[in-house]
Amino acid sequence: MKQLKVTPLLFALSICMMFTGSPQAHAQTCDKTTKMQINLQYMRRLSLELRGHLPSYDELQQVIKAGKVEDTVIAKMVQSQGFVTVMRQYHTDLLWTNISTRRLTGVAWRLRGNGNSEPYHISSQAMRRKFRGDLVACLNVPAKIDGNGKIQCSKTTKKGTKTICQEGYVMVKPYWSDKEVKVCAFDGQKTEMVKLPGAKNAVSCLTARNRTNKCACGENLKWCMTNTTMKDITVSLQEQMLRYMDTIIDKDRPYTDTILGKDIEVNGPISHWTRYQSTLGGNLTFALPTQNFKMPILPFQKKTEWQKSTRGALHSGILTMAGYLLKFESNRSRANRFYNAFLCKHFQAPAGGLPAADSECHNEPNLTKRCGCKYCHQTVEPAAAYWGRWAEAGLAPLNPGQTLNSKTATFPEFWKTCTTPQGARSLFCRRFYFTHANHPDEKPYVGMLLPYVFATKDTKDNIANGPRAIAKSAVDSGTFAECTVKKLWQWFVGTPMLLPQQSALLKKLAEQFKKDKYSVKKLVTHIVKTEEYKLGRLLNR
Contacts of 487 (CB under 8 A, 6+ apart): 94, 341, 344
d(CA 181, CA 174): 7
Among 418, 409, 482, CA closest to 447: 418
Supply the DSSP string of 429-457, one letter for each residue. HHHHB----SSGGGGGGTTBBGGGTT--H
Check: CB of residue 138 under 8 Å from CB of residue 185.
yes
Give the model's pLDDT for residue 207: 60
Instruction: Report residues of the chain scoring pLDDT below 50.
Output: 1-2, 4-23, 25, 406-408, 537-538, 540-541
pLDDT of residue 91: 98
Predicted pLDDT of residue 282: 58
Q: What is the pTM of this model?
A: 0.87
**For residue range 389-408, what is the model confidence (pLDDT) as tens digits?**
999 988 888 888 755 554 44
pLDDT at 23: 47
Extents of the domains making up the chain: 8-78, 109-224, 478-540
CA distance 354 to 206: 52
Asked if residue 128 lies in contact with residue 135, where contact means CB atoms within 8 angstroms, the answer is yes
Specify whether the CB–CB gap between 12 and 38 falls below 8 A: yes
HSE value, Cβ hemisphere, 13 Å, CA-based, for 537: 6
